[in-house]
Amino acid sequence: MRYRLIIFDWDGTLMDSEARIVDCMLAAAHDAGLEPLERAAVSDIIGLGLPEAIAKLCPGISAEGAESLRQHYARHFRAADQTPLAFFPGVEQGIARLRDGRRARLAVATGKSRRGLDRVFAANGSGAWFDASRTADETRSKPHPQMLEELLAETGVDVEDAVMVGDTEYDLEMARVLGMDRIAVTYGVHEPRRLAASQPSFTANAFPELIDWLHA
């Protein structure tokens, strides 16, 4: 195994949730009385914490408007979460391979809230896969590296023995700033050319490719 700690983003890396996130944000903007948002713009902010995502989507929005949008989005997403989403092909089998023999520890660093992550953990039992996790409402949002620093401290792993896996420049940039290796996956939100700017150690077009490389 190449690393002692493998840190995964969630949305767009492990779980195919882009359409749900976009649909919920579009509905929330409508309910909050805002101008319609573009689907591409909403896709672009996946991975950020919700306050940071709203600020980027709606420059100059008032505090009251931002709170209204946040509440409507949370309501729509909680309702949508009653229907479980699927993992990307190969994720469940790949995680099982990584956990076999416990040669590496696994963690999650996500723009989701703690309630949102715990909800999906409980729905599909995936919380048992991971040794640690950090959400955007517990620490600073990506691309600031604080959540990675906290995961390293919690697991007792040095930065050179860890890797961040993600589908957005926010994932890769927080690792790059920290001097941590990073792996890009191209099946998620951001285009390969955008991911390449963060100089990933490896780029995977499918989850099984990532697992094979980690085991090499």
Please check whether residues 27 and 120 belong to one and the same domain.
Answer: no
- Cβ contacts of 185 within 8 Å, gap of 6 or more: 12, 13, 165, 166, 167, 203, 204, 205, 207, 210
Which position among 11, 167, 171, 181 bears the catalytic label?
A: 11
Please check whether residues 108 and 171 belong to one and the same domain.
Answer: yes
Asked if pLDDT for residue 186 goes beyond 80, the answer is yes
- Residue 102 belongs to domain spanning: 5-16+86-215
Please check whether residues 172 and 194 belong to one and the same domain.
Answer: yes
Please check whether residues 46 and 66 belong to one and the same domain.
Answer: yes
- What CATH number corresponds to the domain at position 187? 3.40.50.1000
The model's pTM is 0.94
Please check whether residues 39 and 131 belong to one and the same domain.
Answer: no
Active site residue 167: no
Please check whether residues 62 and 132 belong to one and the same domain.
Answer: no
Please check whether residues 10 and 74 belong to one and the same domain.
Answer: no
Please check whether residues 45 and 102 belong to one and the same domain.
Answer: no
Please check whether residues 139 and 112 belong to one and the same domain.
Answer: yes
Active site residue 11: yes
Asked if pLDDT for residue 216 goes beyond 80, the answer is no
Q: How many domains does the chain have?
A: 2
- What CATH number corresponds to the domain at position 32? 1.10.150.240
The last residue of one of the domains, among 27, 62, 80, is 80
Please check whether residues 125 and 52 belong to one and the same domain.
Answer: no
Judge contact between 146 and 117, C-beta under 8 A.
no
Q: What is the pLDDT of residues 10-27, one digit of tens each?
A: 999 999 999 999 999 999
- Average pLDDT over all residues of the chain: 95
Please check whether residues 173 and 206 belong to one and the same domain.
Answer: yes
Q: What is the pLDDT of residues 154-174, one digit of tens each?
A: 999 999 999 999 999 999 999
Report the pLDDT averaged over residues 53-58: 95
